[in-house]
């Protein structure tokens, strides 16, 4: 089973903040972004309970092109001849961290269940906003022994 959903914003996980007493906490913007990711997942996966099965996650960060991008670069990208990829922030590891943290307890019980993760950046010529495409795929069991082994 694969659940696909779209997040209409693009943000990476920020650095932890520290209180006066050296207690680490998340920034409010990070908490709101993780809430948005959870809501987008639950909108596609209605009445879903967190799974104990191994999962693979595929994340594609789609960036909008700047309005002042020259026409020849837009044509070059649209022909798929270009290896022109976004090299701007946020980094792919921070994007992946924010998605994994948001889906923890919602799509899966614990993030130790994630056995595969891909995260790519690309440009979207038609979009006016930067967004995420996320696919959550659950491992398919082959035999009854596999089911018993993963339930432990």
Query: Which pLDDT band, with edges at 50, 70 and 90, does 26 fall under?
Result: confident
Residue 126 has a pLDDT of 84
Residue with tokens 């990829």: 85
User: Which pLDDT score is estimated for 118?
Assistant: 94
pLDDT of residue 15: 79
Average pLDDT over residues 84-101: 87
Q: Is the pLDDT of residue 89 over 70?
A: yes
Res 44: pLDDT: 92
pLDDT tens-place string over residues 48-80 = 888 888 899 999 999 888 888 888 888 877 776
The whole-number average pLDDT for the span 134-149 is: 71
Does residue 87 or residue 130 have the better pLDDT?
Answer: 130
Mean pLDDT of 147-152: 59
Distance set, CA 39 to CA 18, 43, 93, 126 (Å): 27, 6, 22, 25
Mean pLDDT across the chain = 84
DSSP assignment of the chain:
-EEEEEES------PPEE-TTS-EE--HHHHHHHHHHHHHHHHHSTT---B-S-EEEEEEEEEEPPTT--HHHHHHHHTT-------PSSPHHHHHHHHHHHHBTTTBS-GGGEEEEEEEEEEESS-SS-EEEEEEEEPPP-SHHHHHHHH-
- Dist CA 99 CA 13 (whole Å): 9
Considering only CA atoms, which of 28, 88, 101, 27 is closest in space to residue 59?
101
Give the pLDDT mean for 30-59.
90
pLDDT at 4 over 90: yes
Residue spans of the domains in the chain: they are: 2-151
Q: What is the DSSP letter of 139?
A: P
Q: Looking at the structure, give the CATH architecture of the domain made up of residues 2-151.
A: 2-Layer Sandwich (3.30)
Q: Once rounded to an integer, what is the mean pLDDT over residues 43-51? A: 85
């Amino acid at each position: 089973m694969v659940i696909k959903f779209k997040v209409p914003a693009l943000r990476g996980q920020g650095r932890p903040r520290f209180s006066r007493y050296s207690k680490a906490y998340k920034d409010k913007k990070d908490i709101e972004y993780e809430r948005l990711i959870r809501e987008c997942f639950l909108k596609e996966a209605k009445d879903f309970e967190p799974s104990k099965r191994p999962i693979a996650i595929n994340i594609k960060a789609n960036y909008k092109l700047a309005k002042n991008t020259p026409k020849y670069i837009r044509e070059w990208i649209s022909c798929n001849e270009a290896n022109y990829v976004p090299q701007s922030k946020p980094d792919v590891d921070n994007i992946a961290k924010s998605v994994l943290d948001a889906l923890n307890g919602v799509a899966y019980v614990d993030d130790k269940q994630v056995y595969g993760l891909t995260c790519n950046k690309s440009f979207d010529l038609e979009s006016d906003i930067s967004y995420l495409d996320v696919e959550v795929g659950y491992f398919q069991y082959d035999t009854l022994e596999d089911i018993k082994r993963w339930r432990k």
